[in-house]
Amino acid sequence: MNLSPAIQFSVEHARNHIRDRKVLVITGAGISTDSGIPDYRGEGHVERHPMTFDTFTGSHASRARYWARSYVGWQRINEALPNQAHQLIAETNFSVITQNVDGLHQQAGSKEVLELHGTLSRVVCMSCGSIISRDEMDRLLHELNPNAQRDLEVEISPDGDAEIEVSEDFLVPPCSHCGGFYKPDVVFFGESVPQDRARKADQLVENHEALLVLGSSLSVNSGLRLIKSALKQEKPVVVVNKGPTKADGLVTAKINSPIVDCLPGLLND
């Protein structure tokens, strides 16, 4: 990929700040767009408003809507494959904090991945805490809704929410242990990152010498606070994102470019 002179200069400037340092990578939805998973706020993208924690927990109708849409969207998430950016990060053996819930870093071979916002591959009961796999949830949904269509070409979001009209008779299985309701094991908008996970993220920042942020607008505080923490510790922070971020003007270097275009130049001397 031939970079423009301006982007090439930005890459070289940024590389000087992370070269020969112990780098922690923080990723957002923008790293998975080349795997066919759209982001929430990317440049040129219409901002979407996913279901919040309060809405999901507030009514059975809201939960049925979520699971009906997820029943379609999960298939796309589950079939997605890591792209070149995921693979390059795995090859460097960098530690990763990801805001994504798609599991693509692990598929690419990254060994140390902290899933800050959880993972779509697990489902948890909100009453007793029992856990089942997303594949098991899929099986239960199919048994209850054998006529529900799922092979639809529709837009999805990073959390697998598909833009479809939902039938009022869509059925959702209760927890097999206590009869409570299931929730994907992800941090919804309006929900807090579990404290032990937040502490692990803080420890990773402390244990590294530089941060490389890829594909995140940093609009959510759970990610932005880690950048601010690193800067307070006087550690260089490099951000690669197509479009503005909340950390623009704060970080050591910002590259306004698709990740796969400039990542090889950032990581290779």
**Span 17-32, pLDDT tens digits:** 999 999 999 999 999 9
Check residue 76 and give its pLDDT: 85
Q: Name, in order, each residue with C-beta under 8 angstroms of 203's C-beta and a sequence gap of 6 or more.
A: none
Q: Of 34, 64, 185, 189, which Cα lies nearest the Cα of 118?
A: 185
Contacts 24+ apart (CB under 8 A), 203-208: 204/24, 204/95, 204/97, 204/114, 205/24, 205/229, 205/230, 205/233, 205/235, 206/233, 207/22, 207/24, 208/21, 208/22, 208/23, 208/24, 208/95, 208/235
Tokens for 225? Answer: 């606070």
Q: What is the chain's alpha carbon radius of gyration, rounded to the nearest angstrom?
A: 19
In this prediction, residues 116-144 reach a mean pLDDT of 97
Check residue 42 and give its pLDDT: 47
Check residue 5 and give its pLDDT: 87
Q: What is the DSSP string of 113-160?
A: EEETTEEEEEEEETTT--EEEHHHHHHHHHHH-TT--------B-TT-
13 has catalytic annotation: no
**Span 194-232, pLDDT tens digits:** 999 999 999 999 999 999 999 999 999 999 999 999 999
**Span 70-107, pLDDT tens digits:** 998 888 889 999 999 999 999 999 999 999 999 999 99
Sheet holding 113-115, edge to edge: 113-115, 95-98, 23-27, 210-214, 237-240, 253-255
**Span 152-189, pLDDT tens digits:** 566 666 666 656 566 778 999 999 999 999 999 999 98
Percent of the chain with pLDDT strictly greater than 70: 90
Q: Catalogue all structural domains in the chain, each as residue range(s) with its CATH number.
A: 5-267 (3.40.50.1220)
**pTM for the model:** 0.91
Question: Is pLDDT larger for residue 41 or for residue 200?
Answer: 200
> Which residue is listed with tokens 């927890």?
175
CA distance 184 to 124: 6
Catalytic residue among 17, 117, 142, 177: 117
Which 3 state secondary structure label does DSSP give 2?
coil
